Amino acid sequence: MTIRFVLIIIISVVVLGGCAKPPVAELETARYLVRHAAEVGAADWSPGEYQLARAALDTAEEQMEKQQYRAAARTISLARRYAEEARSESEQAVARLAELERQRAEKARLQEEQRLRDLAEQEAALRQRELAQHRQEEARQAAARAASSANAAKTPPPPPPPLPVEPIRVERYEVRAGQNLAEIADLPEVYGDRLLWPLIYRANRDQIKTPQEIAPGQMLDIPRDKNAEELEAARKEARELDLF
């Protein structure tokens, strides 16, 4: 429905209208509803209904001045209806926008919590690795002290074999400045093999456009479910591409 159509209706009401009691209270209500619609942003969120409400209210004001009270009452009714529709649509639009903002904030919060958890896991893995290396060094030093204190004529006992240090395998890795996929794949806690970078690339295609385009702070998934055949296929692909 256009403003022109509303004006035609209003003119018809004027022709059919006659003298009646001035609808003063109804006019004040219409003014309040139009004003309230403007306050909630109806001019932006529901411009069609808001313009119709304004046009009807202006016409009703003119009819009141001309003492066309019966026609004014009908026009006021139109103004009230369009104002209420504009207000309702505007409030719904604002509510939808607020919900989208809330969802975006919640998603950002969850991503930040996940990033902090991943960092904590990486730090814990590094601490475990350092502790294992420290214990290995203590065992080596103890063996050296025992050998030096033994009788020089006797063959010193062989030092104990080094404690095996099993690298901590991480499931996710945060990219650091200056790193590329091959360097990340070569880390002991990742694969310990730079030729396995294609596995990381394929597992993170949603955030990596090309193998050379990674950025600090990205959290990369590290696949752990590959068999020997898939690992060898990845190495072959890396040799053929020769990107790093």
Mean pLDDT by 10 residues, the chain (244 residues): 50 48 95 95 93 95 96 96 93 90 90 89 84 86 78 61 58 94 95 95 92 93 94 95 89
Q: Report which secondary-structure segment, H or E, holds 151.
A: none
What pTM value is reported for the model? Answer: 0.41
Q: Does residue 170 sit in helix, strand or coil?
A: coil
All structural domains of the chain, each given as residue ranges with its CATH number in brackets, are 3-100 (no CATH), 172-241 (3.10.350)
**Token pair in block for residue 78:** 């139109």
| pLDDT value at residue 81 | 96
| pLDDT value at residue 146 | 80
User: Which whole-number Å values give the CA distances from 47 to 21, 31, 91, 151, in the listed order?
Assistant: 32, 17, 13, 100
Q: What are the backbone angles phi and psi of residue 221, rounded to the nearest 5°?
A: -75, 140
Cβ of 51: how many Cβ atoms within 10 Å?
17
Per-residue pLDDT tens digits for 141-181: 988 888 777 655 566 567 666 544 455 678 999 999 999 99
